[in-house]
Amino acid sequence: METLICPTCGCSLVRLGVAKNNVVSRRYRNKEYSFCCDGCAVLFDEAPETTLMETEDLVVCPSCLAEKPINQTVALSHDGKTIYFCKCPYCMSVFKENPEYYIKRLSGEIEFSGVFSDGHGCCA
C-alpha cells in the first residue's frame, strides 16, 4: 500500500497532516520524494543515499499511522494486497471493521488533519 513517508525523518505525512498539495518535494535520480518540511528536504540534499537507506524499510500502520520497520510488523492480505500493521491486535481488528476508510486515509484520499492539528507540531 502506498503512503507518503518523509525519506529524511521517516514520519508518515498522513499522520502529520501534511496534504499532498503542501509537501516539500525534491527530485533525485528521476524519482520524486516528498518531505514533511523544508528542514528535512535540506538534510536530504546533503546526503540523499544515506537518508534513503535509513528509511527504506519503513511502512505505516493504516489504523494508528505508526511508522515501523517492516520486520517489526504483522502482515494481512486484503483484496490481494499485503498491508502491514504495528503488532497491536486492536489495529488489525479496527481495520477489519472499515478497511476502505483506513486504506483511503493512508493513501491520502481522505483528509486527515494530523496528530499536530492543534498547532503544536514538530514542523509547524
| Cα gap 8→10, rounded to integer Å | 6
- Please give the tally of structural domains in the chain: 1
Q: Is residue 117 part of a domain?
A: no
Question: pLDDT, tens digit, for every residue of 69-88?
Answer: 999 999 999 999 999 999 99
112 lies in some domain: no
Q: Model confidence over 14-50: pLDDT tens digits?
A: 999 888 888 899 999 999 999 999 999 999 999 999 9
Bridge partners (DSSP) of residue 10 are none
Query: What pTM was estimated for this model as a whole?
Result: 0.84
114 within some domain: no
> Domain for residue 79, yes or no?
yes
State pLDDT tens for residues 7-17: 999 999 999 98
DSSP 8-state class, residue 39: H
Side chain identity, residue 113: S
Query: Is residue 102 a part of any domain in this protein?
Result: yes
Q: What sign does the dihedral 98-102-104-110 (CA atoms) show? A: positive
Q: Which domain holds residue 100?
A: 13-107
